[in-house]
Amino acid sequence: MAKAINPFIVTGKIESDYFCDRVSESARLIKSLVNGNNMVVISPRRMGKTGLIQFCYEKPEIKDSYDTFFIDILHTSSLKEFTYILGKEIFESLVPRSKTMSNLFLQTLKSISGKFGFDPFTNLPTFNVELGDIQRPEYTLEEIFTYLAAADKPCIVAIDEFQQIAKYPEKNVEALLRTHIQKIRNSHFIFAGSERHLMQEMFTSSARPFYQSADILELNAIDDPIYVKFIMELFESRGRTISKEVVERVYHLFKGHTYFIQKTFNEAFSDTLPGEECTLETLNQSIDNLIAGNATIFREILSNIPEKQKELLYAIARDGEAERITSSEFLKKHSLSSASSIQSAIKKLLEKDLVTELNKKYSVTDKLFAMWINTIYGKKFNL
């Protein structure tokens, strides 16, 4: 018998059978794009932005009528790198799709056309361009937009971690991109990002170039009953059992955070044989493993945080959700020194995205990191 695949997907593309919900979000995103609008998708890290966008790209309304592109610019730090990644993605998506269009792309990108290579085995052109070859990114970017405008199909370009462009050293990138995007008729854009404050600021502050240029979709956790049902069905349809109560506990522990839930059940599923029940012990073990598997990264992160910030981070991790963090009560409870040092520490922690603020409540952004911090203090989690 072939080995059954684990239905809790944690890497790569997710087939629709393994994709949970997002019915209303995908409908809204598709409707907005089809109507010619651009869309902002904001969510905490690993809540499912990429998954949602790729899910929409596979829907016939999009797949049959548009050329779709997707770039993640988290690691980029200049307009040059942005241009490079965008050019590479468009080119590499076009080559297998259409010879005419990839040739048009090559001809349009005059500023770097001499740098494209050729693969003698496949007979196809290759993107041999190096970062240093892009000497005048504004020109190359303009050429890319010229291509998009001339493409035979309308295009959708998703730019993940879009807030990154605000951190580039060049001052005019937002305005430059906005001008190109505003002018183009047959391409629509999805701007996704996880740094909520930066993203909101970019699209809702009247002083910024992207002000009111796109609809905003906030991607939250999948609803409790829907996610719980989905998980139970995946176990049951594969001859395993799991009780609703334990699934709910995991859901609440991670507040429905997609990545952690997928990871936990991926591991728990592989530890449950056909005919068996996935129990609380199985799940506790899976979560322990998940925490342990990330310990090296967590230690590394901690080693780069100054002491005052670390003290505050620990205090927030202990409270889970911390309120009124400059009050004397909070200071006393966690033996912190002064309200003023908390103020400067929280500013830094928020900037580094280690802590998230929502409705005046602070929590450690990465839930697993918070759990790990608590384990080093002997406060072990238990479902």
Ligand X SMILES: Nc1ncnc2c1ncn2[C@@H]1O[C@H](COP(=O)(O)OP(=O)(O)OP(=O)(O)O)[C@@H](O)[C@H]1O
- Residues lying near ligand X in the complex (CB under 6 A) are found at 9-10, 14, 19-22, 43, 45-51, 160, 194, 258-259, 262
CB of 20 to ligand X, least distance (A): 4
Residue 48 binds which of ligand X, Mg ion, none (CB < 5-8 A, kind-dependent)? ligand X
Which residues contribute to the site for Mg ion (CB under 5 A)?
Answer: 49-50, 160
For ligand X, the closer of residues 71 and 177 by Cβ is: 71
CB of 152 to ligand X, least distance (A): 30
CB of 65 to Mg ion, least distance (A): 24
CB of 10 to ligand X, least distance (A): 4
- Beta-bridged to residue 157, according to DSSP, are 69, 189
Per the CB < 8 A criterion, the answer to whether 236 and 59 are in contact is: no
Give, in degrees to the nearest 5, the angle at Cα 54 between 49 and 60: 135
Residue 163 binds which of Mg ion, ligand X, none (CB < 5-8 A, kind-dependent)? none
CA distance 270 to 8: 10
For ligand X, the closer of residues 21 and 174 by Cβ is: 21
Return the structure tokens found at 303. Answer: 């080693």
Per the CB < 8 A criterion, the answer to whether 267 and 290 are in contact is: yes
Residue 193 binds which of Mg ion, ligand X, none (CB < 5-8 A, kind-dependent)? none
Residue 80 binds which of ligand X, Mg ion, none (CB < 5-8 A, kind-dependent)? none
Which residues are CB-contacts of 195 (< 8 A; sequence separation ≥ 6)?
Answer: 163, 353
- Beta-bridged to residue 217, according to DSSP, are 41
For ligand X, the closer of residues 111 and 258 by Cβ is: 258
- Return the closest-CA partner of residue 91 out of 61, 34, 134: 134
Which residues are CB-contacts of 48 (< 8 A; sequence separation ≥ 6)?
Answer: 22, 219, 222, 258, 259
Residue 176 DSSP symbol: H
Report strand pairing: 39-42 vs 215-218. Answer: parallel
Residue 258 binds which of ligand X, Mg ion, none (CB < 5-8 A, kind-dependent)? ligand X
CB of 46 to ligand X, least distance (A): 4
Residue 194 binds which of Mg ion, ligand X, none (CB < 5-8 A, kind-dependent)? ligand X
For Mg ion, the closer of residues 258 and 309 by Cβ is: 258
- Beta-bridged to residue 189, according to DSSP, are 157
For ligand X, the closer of residues 22 and 240 by Cβ is: 22
CB of 50 to ligand X, least distance (A): 3
For ligand X, the closer of residues 287 and 325 by Cβ is: 287
Residue 124 binds which of ligand X, Mg ion, none (CB < 5-8 A, kind-dependent)? none
H-state helical runs in 76-192: 79-97, 99-108, 137-150, 173-183
CA distance 351 to 195: 9
For Mg ion, the closer of residues 294 and 341 by Cβ is: 294
CB of 90 to Mg ion, least distance (A): 19
CB of 270 to ligand X, least distance (A): 15
For ligand X, the closer of residues 262 and 356 by Cβ is: 262
Q: Which residue's beta carbon is nearest to the bound Mg ion?
A: 50
CB of 206 to ligand X, least distance (A): 28
Residue 51 binds which of Mg ion, ligand X, none (CB < 5-8 A, kind-dependent)? ligand X
CA distance 341 to 309: 9
CA distance 53 to 33: 11
- Beta-bridged to residue 88, according to DSSP, are none
- Residue 158 C-alpha from the chain's centroid: 12
Q: Is 14 left (phi over 0), alpha (psi -120 to 50) or beta?
A: beta
For ligand X, the closer of residues 178 and 255 by Cβ is: 255
Residue 259 binds which of Mg ion, ligand X, none (CB < 5-8 A, kind-dependent)? ligand X
